[in-house]
Amino acid sequence: MSEIPKLSIAGRDHLDSDLLVVGCCEGEEPPAEELAPAVAAALRRLAARAGWDGRERQRVEGEVAAGGPVVSLRGLGKRGELTARKVADWLVKVVEEAAINGCDRLALVPPDHPELTGEEAPERVARALLLAGYRFDRYRTNGERPPGRVHDIVVLPPPAAAGAYRAALPAAAAVAAGAAFCRDLANTPANEATPDWMEAEARALAASRDMRMTVLEEDELRRRGMGALLAVGAGSPQRPRLVRLDWGAAAAGPVVALVGKGVTFDTGGISIKPAADMDEMKYDKCGACTALGIARAAADLDLPVRLRVYLPLVENMPDGASYRPGDIVRCYNGKTVEILNTDAEGRMILADALAWAAEGAPDALLEYSTLTGAAVVALGHRAGAVYTPDDALAADLLGAADRAGERLWRMPLWPEYVEQMKGHHADLKNVAGRWGGANTAAAFLSQFVGDLTRWAHFDIAGAAYVGNDEEEPREATGYGVHLTVDWLRRLGDERL
């Protein structure tokens, strides 16, 4: 797994670092209280420089003394405009710049602000720092690897917040490791990350975290009538399979099913995609990667829940054996689907996985998929879409997203969208035209959860990775791990 730095908390008189970064809101004095006298004096000198007022992205630096750390005073902008998202972006930039400049040991002094020292802030800040230096560079030769990494990060919070920061570290470390694991899986290219490879990664996780694993291969999929998953995988030499992981003791608490779309590469099949940006289709497995990252973090935190993780794994390729537009496919729950577009394959493999997961009557079911371009059009790359018929579940998930610092927006799941998905010659069709495509896709999935009402579909097509149309690094984000683990932690032993 990609390397994560060591993170610790120290008193404000700490001096053992290469670089000491101090955040300061606009128009305010630098937070010099309790700092070592030499650092406090350096901060006063820096703040007195002409032009400094703490505006966003401002920076002034100077040395404390020979052999001491460099002190960097950074502007955070107006206090009232500082958000969790801005804090996270700032922390990423601080760590990246420190690494580029050869800093091995970084110390950070956050100002006393709700987004840095409030009730939910310490864990959010710790997670952001642990992941800020994430790199997926294992395919680079040594001479081509970007120089430098920050290996040790020390946070010097205000004394009143020090206890909360220390208490936040174990959970932050487990969630960050789960998110990094998710990102590593998702970033791995399709020539390595095949359904076989994904199954092996799931098996390794199961072995290391005392999980039980079941794999339904082609013969068993056929015997059970999982025609949708078989149809999508028919055009690839990589055979489809459905992996299930079970974790948690029988009396551990509520049962939560996690379903993750695992299309390891999506050409679109016979309805082939345009060539431009098709390289991004290695990310069509991000739902499965998210589910595995959540499971890893939940196990490491020993949460009082029982998890059932379902991963339909398949490659969607054009071939003489591929499923075709016009085909009619029968799914695990008996419903038939008319194929109008083979590039709407994610909802097909999820149909069988959701029906199997719902059959087990979990207390709640959460499903993650890079399902539609329409969700990206609606929300861009900063937010995920959530669909659920359960208002209480929606409120809980939106609250978890706010606490985790991940953007989530509830979208409509109206009966009209189900009507649009009715088939011409079958029960359903797998696409319903251009408009509202994310909504009709969610409505399609709703037909495979039986009588279960406490379920949610996350369309993470925009949030799961940053693609070729963005300036940021082109890579998976690990979206959904943080918010879901927060939600799971709050379930505790309470009844759902």
Summarised one tens digit per residue, pLDDT across range 447-493 is 999 999 999 999 999 999 998 776 667 899 999 999 999 999 998 64
Q: What does the pLDDT read at residue 1?
A: 66
Q: In Å, how far are 1, 19, 151, 301, 463 from 133, measured between CA atoms?
A: 13, 15, 9, 23, 19
Tokens representing residue 93 in the block: 């930039």
For the chain, residues with pLDDT lower than 50 are: 493, 495-496
Q: What does the pLDDT read at residue 15?
A: 83
Of 74, 71, 140, give the one whose Cα is nearest residue 103. Answer: 71
Q: What does the pLDDT read at residue 377?
A: 95
Q: What does the pLDDT read at residue 51?
A: 92
Per-residue pLDDT tens for 55-80? 999 999 998 766 678 999 999 999 99
Distance of CA 24 to the CA centre of its chain: 30
What is the rounded distance in angstroms from the CA atom of residue 482 to the CA atom of residue 479? 7
What is the rounded distance in angstroms from the CA atom of residue 249 to the CA atom of residue 239? 32
Per-residue pLDDT tens for 295-337? 999 999 999 999 999 999 999 999 999 999 999 999 999 999 9
Asked if the domains 6-168 and 188-491 are classified in one and the same CATH topology, the answer is no
What is the rounded distance in angstroms from the CA atom of residue 238 to the CA atom of residue 491? 38
pTM summary value: 0.95
Identify whether 261 is a catalytic site residue: no
**Could you tell me which CATH number the domain at 6-168 has?**
3.40.220.10
Among residues 347, 403, 407, 489, the one annotated as catalytic is 347
Give the domain ranges of the chain: 6-168, 188-491
Q: In Å, how far are 25, 264, 302, 369 from 284, measured between CA atoms?
A: 40, 6, 29, 8
**Could you tell me which CATH number the domain at 188-491 has?**
3.40.630.10
- In the chain, what are the helix, strand and coil shares in percent, each to the nearest 5? 40, 20, 40
Q: What does the pLDDT read at residue 495?
A: 47
Identify whether 347 is a catalytic site residue: yes
Find tokens 């205000």 and name the residue. 158
Among residues 273, 330, 335, 454, the one annotated as catalytic is 273
